[in-house]
Structures are given as structure tokens and as C-alpha cells.
């Protein structure tokens, strides 16, 4: 599910006027070698003066009600790696725990100004190997690596990645972040925070109050 900001851009703008307001199309940075450079276009950045006060929810035809469809009837969708849980990248059935991983990705994106994990390789490098049961199920088998499932694979740790993205954060705030993100990004779905648990989590609420209180 996506929240879309309404636009007040006039209809019928010429290409010249669109470029003047939005800028020219830019290549999206691809930090891994899945595709050739330049095959993706970066999202446009609409000036706040052209954003309306209305928001719209859109699922692009991919949202599912848990338990409403058999796996074989679910829409065939290639999920964005930056916001997708490890098990979904391996073809697992959608579940609320998948949504919580995605929520934590969005939260991290807003906090750090960019995705915490740009590809699955980043997830393993930071959090460690996933269950060996997932081996052979990666949606892009050509790019799968054995070390992702090797339980002897070592990880740099979440704290190092947080400090890389936010080097000036205080030690107190870092502890709050680690407390929340470690549970939100648990590799085992059953160990992740639920929505209710997150809303009642004192460390999460303290973080929110730091910026929105």
C-alpha cells in the first residue's frame, strides 16, 4: 500500500514547463550489479508548492487481505528489494510480519533519508544469514549466493550500518534506534514486533516524540 500526495500541477503543461518545474529525468543509482547502469529512472521530486492537501491510498492492484486468496491465486508481483522482507523475496505467503518489515523499511527511509538496505546482500551483510530452508527459493535465482544461507556467515552488525547512515546521532538515540530496529528487522518473522507491540513500545514512542512530539 502506498500513500500518494495529491498534485496541483496544471494540466496540459508543455515538456519545457514540466522540465522547468520538475527537472529533467535522472538515472537512478543502482548500487548492485543486477542491471546495467541507466536502466532505471529516479523518482521525480515534486516541489511542495505543487502538492495538494489531499492524500490517496494506492495498492497498484497488489494488496492482499491475509487469508483471502490461495497462494496460487495471488497477483504475480516482483517486490522492491528495498522494502521487502527476506521471506517474501523467497516467495513466502504474505503475512502481517512481512508488512512490519516493510513498515520498518519505510520508517528507516524517513529517518535516514534513504533505504537502510538497498538489496538483499545488504540485509545479510548487516543482519547475518537467513534460514537455510530458504535456499533455492530466491526470486532471482541467478543472483543468489550460498553464503546468504550459510549459518557460519558473519555480519557487520546493525549498529555499524546505523552509524554509517547517521554518524552524528547521540548515544542515547542510537540505543533507542537499535532497540526498535533489531526487533523490527528480526530475520525470523515470528520474532518481529507486531503493530500493537510497536505502538506500545516505549523506545519507539520516545523516538517519535523526539521529532514529532
Predicted confidence (pLDDT) per residue in 93-149, tens digit: 888 899 999 999 989 988 888 889 988 999 999 999 999 999 999 988 888 999 999
- In 10 A of CB 129, how many CB atoms? 20
Q: Please indicate, yes or no, whether the overall pTM of this predicted structure exceeds 0.75.
A: no
At 152, the pLDDT band (50, 70, 90 cuts) reads: very high
The rounded mean pLDDT for the chain is: 84
For 154-207, the pLDDT digits (tens) are 999 888 888 888 888 899 999 999 999 999 999 999 999 999 999 999 999 999
Max avg pLDDT among 40-44, 78-82, 92-96, 100-104 = 100-104
- For the ranges 26-35, 37-46, 54-63, 97-106, the lowest mean pLDDT is seen at 26-35
What count of Cα atoms within 13 Å lies in the side-chain half-sphere of residue 70? 2
Angle among Cα 170, 195, 76 to the nearest 5 degrees reads 110
Domain parsing of the chain, residue ranges: 1-6+18-58, 74-212
Q: Output the pLDDT for position 78.
A: 63
Listed range (21-25, 60-64, 141-145) with the worst mean pLDDT: 60-64
The answer to which of 29-33, 76-80, 158-162 has the lowest mean pLDDT is 29-33
Give the pLDDT of residue 186. 96
4/58 Cα distance (integer angstroms): 7
95 C-beta neighbours (distance < 10 Å), count? 17
Decide which of 1.10.510.10, 3.40.50.10420, 3.30.420.40, 3.20.10.10 is the CATH code for 74-212.
1.10.510.10
Side-chain-side CA neighbours of residue 151 (13 Å): 4
Indicate if the pLDDT at residue 35 is higher than 60: no
Amino acid at each position: 500500500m502506498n500513500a500518494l500526495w495529491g498534485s496541483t500541477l496544471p494540466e496540459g503543461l508543455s515538456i519545457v514547463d514540466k522540465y522547468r518545474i520538475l527537472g529533467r529525468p535522472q538515472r537512478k543509482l543502482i548500487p548492485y550489479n543486477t542491471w546495467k547502469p541507466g536502466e532505471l529512472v529516479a523518482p521525480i521530486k515534486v516541489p511542495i508548492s505543487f502538492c495538494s492537501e489531499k492524500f490517496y491510498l494506492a495498492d497498484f492492484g497488489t494488496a492482499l487481505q491475509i487469508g483471502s486468496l490461495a497462494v496460487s491465486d495471488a497477483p504475480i508481483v516482483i517486490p522492491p528489494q528495498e522494502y521487502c522482507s527476506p521471506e517474501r523475496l523467497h516467495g513466502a505467503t504474505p503475512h502481517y510480519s512481512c508488512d512490519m518489515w516493510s513498515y520498518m523499511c519505510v520508517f528507516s527511509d524517513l529517518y535516514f533519508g534513504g533505504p537502510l538496505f538497498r538489496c538483499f546482500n545488504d540485509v545479510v551483510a548487516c543482519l547475518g544469514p537467513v534460514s537455510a530452508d530458504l535456499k533455492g527459493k530466491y526470486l532471482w535465482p541467478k543472483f543468489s549466493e550460498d553464503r546468504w544461507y550459510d549459518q557460519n556467515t558473519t555480519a557487520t552488525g546493525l549498529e555499524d550500518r546505523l552509524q554509517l547512515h547517521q554518524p552524528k546521532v547521540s548515544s542515547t538515540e542510537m540505543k533507542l534506534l537499535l532497540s526498535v530496529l533489531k526487533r523490527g528487522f528480526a530475520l525470523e518473522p515470528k520474532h518481529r514486533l507486531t503493530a500493537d507491540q510497536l505502538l506500545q513500545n516505549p523506545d519507539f514512542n520516545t523516538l517519535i516524540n523526539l521529532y514529532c512530539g
